[in-house]
Structure 1
């Protein structure tokens, strides 16, 4: 699957799934723009990509800020002249029950990052994607199809992201733009470290996920990247408005 001369914009690309997606597209010849808030981690990803292909465009930005969102799209198009693939990957967890005093604060933060930013970036990128008859891939979660304790905000945001993709797939279809969603289960990233978990807590969380997995495994970010590559390729030319689950059977167990 060659993406030579294609331009791919990946949010939440400073580590984990986003970093793996950016690297995978770059390896296939794409010009890649990587977006994230953590400058040091973005630099590391950029250096990893530059070892095998051309250095990506690095954009330090907060996707929840409208000025930053406009800069993300404008800088990408200014640098590369077009946009072929938008990967809405940026996301955060949120630990709160609906009865907690901070429930609405957590809800607003999670919704702004996980769904509103994707809506706004898609709106800004739409004219460029229509010009190239491009692709949009939203990285969701199996949490959009199930519920967990103290995760009402996160589960709601991912369910919204899933349905958003289906709704805009219908709008974009006559214009030749495809929209799809990937819903991973647990993927081994630094997400819990970023939430402040220590090494012991991290190990306990991953061990628990491993035990719950029917396949008795936890995915690597490269697996999600491979799926994104397929969905954005000509091999998936007839696929739009679909959700692809890659969760080692977690939904089955739930």
Structure 2
């Protein structure tokens, strides 16, 4: 790989990418970015209608897309998702784990099963998917890219009932670092993107021109050096970097897409 033609470092055309949670905010961004970059996509989500919508959008843009209406909620389900990519395209080069959840409640009001459900969705399922992908990538003996989704809340606390979410994302950070060390000799890189608040269906209200939204937004932005909330395109560059040869020397890394929020 020569740096005299640096754009080739970011070339993922023809690579096979499995994206879980593909109908969600980050998953949809990942699908659009990797479709536009020429990847063959395996998109997985629990909602068949939402999955069909993003898959159709990617196909309309010229991408080769396979849909799997499934959540990664068990060992067998994760193995089946990876096998689905192999059955469709013969290999798996990139895994993006964009599935997960958040449930907000103060600790004295949160049921233990609620806490455990968030940990399962964000931590256990990330681990199971990475495990299934690792087996396939090792068998291919050609390396691979695993991209997990963390959050600025993996590093920082939050006063509004985020004990489950913060704990789960801190655990995702730990998985990322441990697997980065473990899988480095295999040529498999494991990294995480950790956004702060960015525009999505769940956060759309924070971008509205209302007194409530402005008060919340202004309070948050006092900690963001860039002076704005995140947009979906702010996640595009980091994802392409971590999915391509450009990041071959980067592993076990948490990439904060946060406008400087965690720096201050």
Instruction: Provide the TM-score with structure 2 as the length reference.
Output: 0.87
* Contact residue 92 and residue 137 of structure 2 kept, 8 A: yes
Unaligned runs of 5+ in 1: none
Match of 1:59 in 2: 68
Q: Quick one: distance in 1 between partners of 2:236 and 2:53?
A: 18
Measured after TM superposition, the shift of residue 11 of structure 1 is 1.0
Structure 2 gaps of 5+ residues are 1-9
For the pair 1:85 / 2:104, whether they are aligned, the reply is no
Q: Which residue of 193, 199, 206 maps to 1:188? A: 199
| Equivalent position to 2:261, from 229, 250, 254 | 250
CA contact (8 A) 1:210 1:218 kept: no
With over 3 angstroms needed to count, the CA separation of the structure-2 counterparts of 1:93 and 1:163, relative to structure 1, is same
SS at match of 2:123: helix
- SS state of the match for residue 255, structure 2? strand
- The 10-residue stretch of structure 1 (150-159 or 23-32) with the greater mean CA deviation from structure 2: 23-32
Structure 2 CA distance for aligned equivalents of residues 190 and 18 of structure 1: 13
SS at structure 2 position matched to 1:87: strand
The 2-side partners of 1:31 and 1:59 are apart by 14
Q: CA deviation at 1:207?
A: 5.9
Match of 1:125 among 102, 108, 133: 133
Q: Is the 8 A contact 1:17 1:222 kept in 2?
A: no
Deviation at 1:114, TM superposition (A): 0.3
What CA deviation, in whole Å up to 9, does each residue of 1:221-247 have, x standing for no partner? 222122111112112221111111111
Total equivalences in the alignment:
249
Residues 1:146 and 2:156 aligned together: yes
1:73-107 Cα distance to aligned partner (Å, 9 max, x none): 1111111110001111111111122212x431211
CA distance 1:147–1:103, change in 2 (3 Å): farther
The residue number in structure 2 matching 1:49 is 58
Instruction: Say whether 1:23 aligns with 2:32.
Output: yes
SS at match of 1:191: coil
TM-score (norm 1): 0.90
Structure 1 vs Structure 2 CA RMSD = 2.3
Quickly say closer, same or farther: Cα 1:209–1:252, change in 2 above 3 A.
farther
